[in-house]
């Protein structure tokens, strides 16, 4: 298993949500301060957190062949 996979699977969801929230707050502060550099920094943080969320979701379900959603018709599942 590659080291990136191990590192990405060890990141807790709370840290990713915190990173996204931090990015939003930094971007809003940049808008209020009229600082383009701060807005861009906040957006970079926001997109990094969003990317981690997507990668974490993929890694969590890539080896699990069972669909986690409830089955509408139990006979067909």
In a domain, 74, yes or no: no
Residue 48 lies in a domain: yes
pTM of the model as a whole: 0.66
Q: Is the residue at 39 inside a domain? A: yes
Whole domain around residue 31: which residue ranges?
Answer: 3-66
CA trace torsion 18, 22, 42, 53 (10° rounding): 10
The 3-state DSSP class for residue 68 equals coil
61, 68 Cβ separation under 8 angstroms: yes
Residue 46, token pair as written in the block: 């926001």
45 inside domain: yes
Q: Give SS3 for 31.
A: helix
Provide the residue-wise pLDDT of the chain in tens; the chain has 77 residues: 555 555 555 667 888 899 999 999 999 999 999 999 999 999 999 999 999 888 888 877 776 667 667 777 777 66
**Domain contains 21:** yes
Please report whether residue 77 resides in a domain: no
Q: How many structural domains is the chain composed of?
A: 1
């Amino acid at each position: 298993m590659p080291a990136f996979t191990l590192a990405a699977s060890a990141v807790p969801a709370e840290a990713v949500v915190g990173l996204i929230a931090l990015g939003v707050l930094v971007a809003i502060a940049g808008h209020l301060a009229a600082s383009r550099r701060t807005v861009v920094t906040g957006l970079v943080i926001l997109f990094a957190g969003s990317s981690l969320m997507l990668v974490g979701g993929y890694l969590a379900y890539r080896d699990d062949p069972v669909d986690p959603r409830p089955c509408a018709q139990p006979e067909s599942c």
